Structure 1
Amino acid sequence: MRRTASPLSLVLLGLGTFLLVLAPLLAWYVEPRAALNPIDIDTTAVYTGTGSVFDVEQVRTVPDQKITVTQRVRGDVAESERSGAAVWDVITTVDTDRSLPAADPHDALEFIPHRWVSDRGTNRPVHCCKEKPYIEGEAYLKFPFDVRERSYRWWDNSLGATVTLHYEGRKKIRGYEGMRFTATVPATRTGTRLVPGALVDEPGRPQVLAEEWYANHGLELVVDQATGRVLYARTGPRRTLRAPGGTEDAAVLLDSRKLAFTADTQKSAVEQAERDSGLLRLVGRTLPIGTAVVGFVLAVPGAVLVVRGRRRPERSESPQDPITI
């Protein structure tokens, strides 16, 4: 008797082996390449709240104003493809009801354009492509993929430096759980500005190079763990002017205890986080596990059938007639 493998057993073994090899490839090769910062991003986040703002026309600080901060992020696809990094152009505007709606963002109370360039996988800053300012830290606009329960260095563009955000547990935004991080920023000198002397309590001087100071009553960010997307953001900026060498604030440019994502911005952020984290989970966990299980189920019986084979009788030659003399 001799053994031969049936076509079915070979098909089962081959397909099962293929799926067993595919499973780790999905988890260790495909999934990390799916977790990349996009280059064609086009998104807008809106913060609202109340606070005090400096009115240029009245030349004084006006309290109890509704404040709207709009942050639009657009990817420079051509520059991203050339550099291999994610090149995002960011425009931040600060408005009161008097400057909204504005046909031109330059009409806003404040108009701040800048560029952020990051490694698409690690989210770390990449210094190329005429980025401005020179951004540092581990996170800005978003966190890295697979966020950990630890502190992160977040770039604060108003400060012009990084702020340490501390992990504070979990928090749900519109029913979706994220990781909560908080920080405060003490009053810090950030630059100078040429202003009338009377604005900083020096009426005898027509122009003074006043000191710009920035503080933050409290930063709070709630982040999707898988994608690093910010689901909710709250900030409490305070920007003031001081006389040269002064120790007290002489003029308040902007002061708000709470500027936070609007309901629409939260909704959009949660929907995108659910979609993107679901895709990462599918490629990195669901498909590899399912593929491995199906591969095992197919490969085992296929191997058994190949080993057992199918018995067939050997062909025997017909006996020769005896030779007679």
Structure 2
Amino acid sequence: MNRAVALRIAACGIMGLGAALLIAALLLSTYTQGKIAKIPLDIDATLISDGTGTAFDPASLLGERFVINEDVPVVMQQQMTVESPANADVVTLQVGTTLKRSDQQKDEGLLLAMVDTVTVNRQTAMAVSSETNPGGSVQKPRAIEDENPPTSIALPHEGLTYRFPFDTEKKTYQVFDPIAQKAFDANYSGEEDVNGLTAYKFTQNIGFDADGKLVEPVKFASLYDDDADSQATATAKLWGLEGDPEESITMTRYYAAQRTFWVDPVSGTIVKKTDRGYQYYAREALKPEVTFVDYTVTSNEETVEAQVAAAQDERDRVSLWGRILPITFTALGLVALVGGALLGTFSLRAESLLIDPGLDDTGGRFFGRRGDEGEPVPGAEAMTEKLPAQRPSDLPPDKPV
């Protein structure tokens, strides 16, 4: 194999590599990015929010009157894990939520406990259902001493739950509330910096108007067959009401909430959240009589830092496959194509020289002849007269030889 053929093969190989890199860049920026921008399957997070509120004292159930304490410390904890089904298309999130008075020991201050499960699309974060999977469920409450396995009630979810979609837009989304068992609007309300990350802010009102006024509370959705936790009957004395202290009065439990979500627009991760919940007993929905709990909690600093770090990891992963590698491959592909084309040109010249040097108008050199080997200057071919040399005898006597 001569040098010209070797150069031509190398040129073809380099141009083929360049074309492959350009195709890879195109695939990474379209098809592959769509496969990468998905909710991870290894989520295992503990989210803690703390604040203060007005709360019922569970110990007063055994007293002569229900006691409501004001300005008590309240902690909400959510444990989020991945359950089955979880595959290339969907992921199932199981979230155990507890709301406790942190001024009381162990479970004495427990105000709310529930385990919510939802299956969502890994790209859109929308709840999905099938014949074998209703798209969500909620665990039936159990007594602390109950050793039987937990049982769940099918609860189809709608809209978003616990996540926003990748490439979150500045618009209104439907976000599911497992306590109300319905989806409500979460409206875009601006951008804010959260620990160095630019987040989209969304606000959601359930039963409240934008000013925090109670307008349309939701009847608390019971998880018991007998609605034991959505209605309560006690004497007027226990309720703390005027009139006949022994009069039996039945009240309904109502629920309202206000939430603010700070969302990473790239990954859809909720990096911070403020949650106000209001549960009360009343005979008329818009006339609260006995507060069960009225609290406001915000994600603590450790939770915010962990969620921002998780969002940044997902951003980096999407950026690597969707932007950095496509740009790098495109640049390398273009360089390879240009380099291969130039090498191919030189290989053709080399091959023409080997076949017939006269076919190359450069005279056998890639860059032409040197100036002293070019066309002869016309003046250089002019006839010149040769002058005869003088003999010594012809010289004048006074001039030395």
TM-score range, shorter chain: 0.7 to 0.9
- Unaligned residue ranges in structure 1 (runs of 5+): 316-325
- The one-letter amino acid of 2:287's match is E
- Give 1 or 2: higher strand fraction: 1
Q: Deviations over 1:226-258 (max 9, x none)?
A: 100011100111111112x454112111102x3
Within 2, Cα distance between the matches of 1:179 and 1:204? 53
Q: What is the SS of the residue equivalent to 1:226?
A: coil
Alignment of 1:29-178 (within 5 A): 29-58=31-60, 59-76=66-83, 78-81=84-87, 84-99=89-104, 102=106, 108-128=110-130, 129=133, 131-132=136-137, 133-137=155-159, 139-178=160-199
Q: CA RMSD in A?
A: 2.5
Larger-gyration structure (1/2):
2
Q: Residues of 2 paired with 1:203 and 1:117: CA distance?
A: 49
Tell me how far 1:66 sits from its aligned partner.
0.2
User: Structure 1 residues 165 and 6 mapped into 2: Cα distance closer, same or farther (>3 Å)?
Assistant: same
TM-aligned CA deviation for residue 200 of structure 1: 8.2
- Aligned residue in 2 for 1:229: 269
Task: Tell me if structure 1 keeps the 8 A contact 2:29–2:321.
Answer: yes
C-alpha deviation, 1:207, in angstroms: 6.3
Matched AA of 1:162: A
Q: Which residue of 2 aligns with 1:272?
A: 310
Aligned to 1:188: 217
Code of the aligned partner of 2:94: D
**Aligned partner letter, 1:155:** F
**Secondary structure at the residue paired with 2:355?**
coil
Q: Secondary structure at the match of 2:129?
A: coil
**TM score, norm. by length of structure 2:** 0.70
Deviation at 1:272, TM superposition (A): 1.0
| In structure 2, C-alpha distance between the alignment counterparts of 1:251 and 1:23, rounded to whole Å | 63
- 1:281 paired to 2:324: no
- Tell which has more relative contact order, 1 or 2 (C-alpha 8 A, sep 6+): 1
In the alignment of these two chains, the number of paired residues is 304
Per-residue CA deviation, residues 262-297 of structure 1 (Å, 9 max, x unaligned), is 000001011111111011011101110111111011
Output the amino acid matched with 2:180. L
Partner deviation per Cα, 1:84-112 (whole Å, 9 max, x = no partner):
52111110001112445x4xx79833211
What is aligned with 1:17? 19
Whole-angstrom distance in 2 between the partners of 1:135 and 1:92? 17
Contact kept, 8 Å, 2:81 with 2:94, in 1: the verdict is yes
Task: Indicate how the Cα distance of structure 1 residues 298 and 63 shifts in structure 2: closer, same or farther if over 3 A, else same.
Answer: same
**Equivalent residues of 2:254, 2:285 under 8 A apart:** no
Shift of 1:193: 1.9
Q: Which position in structure 2 is the counterpart of 1:298?
A: 336
- Choose the corresponding residue for 2:254, options 199, 209, 213: 213
Letter in 1 for 2:309: E
TM-score, normalised to structure 1, is 0.85
CA distance in 1, matches of 2:252, 2:114: 19
- Where 2:21 maps in the other structure, the secondary structure is helix
Pairwise CA distance, 1:224: 0.5
Percent identical: 21
1:255 is aligned, of 294, 300, 303, to 294
